[in-house]
Amino acid sequence: MTVRNRKIAVFGLGYVGVVSAACLARDGHKVVGVDPQPEKVRLVREGKPPIVEQFVGELIEEGVRTGALTATTDAAEAVAASDMSLVCVGTPSRRNGSLDTAAVARVCEQIGAAIRGTTGRHVVVMRSTILPGTMRGVVIPTLEKASGMTAGEGFHVANNPEFLRESTAVYDYDNPPKTVVGATDPATASEVLSLYEALPGPKIATTVDVAEMVKYADNAWHALKVAFGNEIGNLAKAVGVDSHAVMDIFCQDEKLNISPYYLKPGYAFGGSCLPKDLRALTYKGRELDLDLPLLNSIMPSNQHQIERAFERVASYGVRRVAFLGISFKSGTDDLRESPQVALVERLIGKGYDLQIYDRNVHMARLTGANREYIVNVIPHISQLLSDDFDAVLEHGELVVIGNPAPEFKGLAARLREDQKLLDLVRTPGASDGLGTRYDGINW
């Protein structure tokens, strides 16, 4: 499938739409921009940019000169002249913070009406930022109603989130960190990805729901990084430390700090370092009369994840629980501030009948450095520890995996038909063959 010579209608001549239209025209496609504002359309037709953005003016001028780019206010005209529609309209916040998808729905009505009764293949690609569920709850139903067709038959849909920053949008278009296309079928995903095959970075085909969520994960993470950097800076300034020198060093660690580590959804954090150091940092902030809402929220958020796990266990309505892996992570016997211990203590307090297996902790109870802590601080839990994996499994109506120790990877094959599995850490292979008998804490 060739990258060039597609006929593309781009709906919305704001930042995303104008940049997308200009770059697609440059790359050899026949592009028509669509916008209800006549002034924007006039500017594009005259080869002028309707936005202030580096390099866009030159691209629009060249696209119009060669005939690769034009614009119109007539949606039906644009759809009739294209085989793909890119929806790049705004999705602003309402006063209550919810997303306003009125423009998305309106454009989908226009596209649907324009393809009604046609027989050619038309692909509708959502570039606008939309919340998970919008494709299936708004976009597809609106297109189906307006066209009288069924998605996947009369037309095809995809979600293609953009990762463009204002002032560097053309550079970002040409140098994406990744290209993501969510579609309801592989052929459509491949078709949309082909638009970008000359660009660097990974090309990822996924579901429409995942593609919707990816953009929000990205932007929330960027916002979180800004807030985190600022709060560290506020603390550093208060104690007379150069915050930029601190963060310059912080960012050089690409093994843990700037990396995939700690970013996979799962259970709460614990151990001897993270809780202790976070408490010390936030205490210092209070001592200095600093308001650090982000840092102060981390421990409550972590505690909420423990509470969420308890509620999930309670939802099964059983009393006998086999708990596998009680140390705060696999490969250690350390129970200090283990969130698994916190969950187990909550379950014991509510009268659950537990048996616990953790190979490393059992050994520590006998000879390890944590023996005193296990025997003296949590003796009620110590009494429930067993080194008999099979007996612990047999005990549970519900089996809970607390850490991904290697011996738990083939667990599914060892469960009885009446047993269910709650996995707090997404253990590899744990779900194999279990179907609805398997569940994760946040997947």
pLDDT bin (cut points 50, 70, 90) of residue 364 is: low
In the predicted structure, residue 363 carries a pLDDT above the cut 80: no
Alpha helices in 93-207, H assignment, sequence order: 102-115, 134, 140-147, 169-174, 186-193
* pLDDT for 369: 63
Per-residue pLDDT band for 366 (boundaries 50, 70, 90) equals low
Strand partners, 93: 99
107 and 79 Cβ atoms separated by less than 8 Å = no
Give the tens place of pLDDT for each residue, 113-152: 999 999 999 999 999 999 999 999 999 999 999 999 999 9
Average pLDDT estimate for 216-226: 94
Mean pLDDT of 230-251: 96
Instruction: Give the pLDDT score at 107.
Output: 98
Give the model's pLDDT for residue 160. Answer: 98
Residue 120 tokens read as 């050619």
Model confidence at 380, pLDDT cuts 50, 70, 90, reads confident
State the helix-helix crossing angle for 293-314 and 208-238, rounded to 10 degrees.
140
Nearest in space to 439 (alpha carbons), one of 398, 409, 380? 398
Contact 107, 89 (CB under 8 A): yes
Q: What is the mean pLDDT of residues 230-235?
A: 96
> Does the pLDDT of residue 2 top 50, yes or no?
no
Q: Which residues are annotated as a binding site for substrate?
A: 163-166, 215, 262-266, 270, 329
Please report which confidence band the pLDDT of residue 374 belongs to, taking 50, 70 and 90 as the band edges: confident
* Helices 102-115 & 140-147 angle (0-180, nearest 10): 30
Q: Where are the domains of the chain?
A: 7-208, 302-440
Unique residue bearing structure tokens 């194999």 = 432
What average pLDDT does range 23-41 have in this prediction? 97
Q: Which tens digit of pLDDT belongs to each residue from 428-437?
A: 989 999 999 9
pLDDT tens for residues 164-204? 999 999 999 999 999 999 999 999 999 999 999 999 999 99
Report pLDDT for 1.
40
The sign of the torsion formed by the CA atoms of 20, 21, 24, 29 equals positive
**Digit-coded pLDDT (tens) for 303-358:** 999 999 999 999 999 999 999 999 888 888 888 889 999 999 999 999 999 999 99
Torsions phi, psi of 394, nearest 5? -60, -30
Using pLDDT thresholds of 50, 70 and 90, give the confidence band for residue 361: confident
Q: Domain 302-440: give its CATH architecture.
A: 3-Layer(aba) Sandwich (3.40)
Average pLDDT of every residue of the chain = 94
Cα separation values, 223 from 53, 230, 240, 308, 382, Å: 23, 11, 26, 25, 43
pTM, 2 dp = 0.87
Binding site membership: which residues?
A: 35, 40, 91, 129, 163-166, 215, 262-266, 270, 276, 329, 336
Residue 3 has pLDDT above 70, yes or no: no
Mean pLDDT for the stretch of residues 11-40: 97
Catalytic residue set: 273
pLDDT at residue 129, as a whole number: 95
CB 290 within 8 A of CB 238: yes
Residue closest to 165 by CA, chosen among 153, 156, 173, 155:
173
Q: Is the pLDDT of residue 395 over 70?
A: yes
> Same fold for the domain at 7-208 and the one at 302-440?
yes
Q: Which two tokens stand for residue 142?
A: 């609106």
Give pLDDT, residue 335. Answer: 83
DSSP state of 99: B
The Cα 371–Cα 291 span in angstroms is 40
Distance CA 338, CA 271 (A): 6
Written out in words, the top-level CATH class of the domain with range 7-208 is alpha beta
- The whole-angstrom separation of Cα 286 and Cα 280 is 10
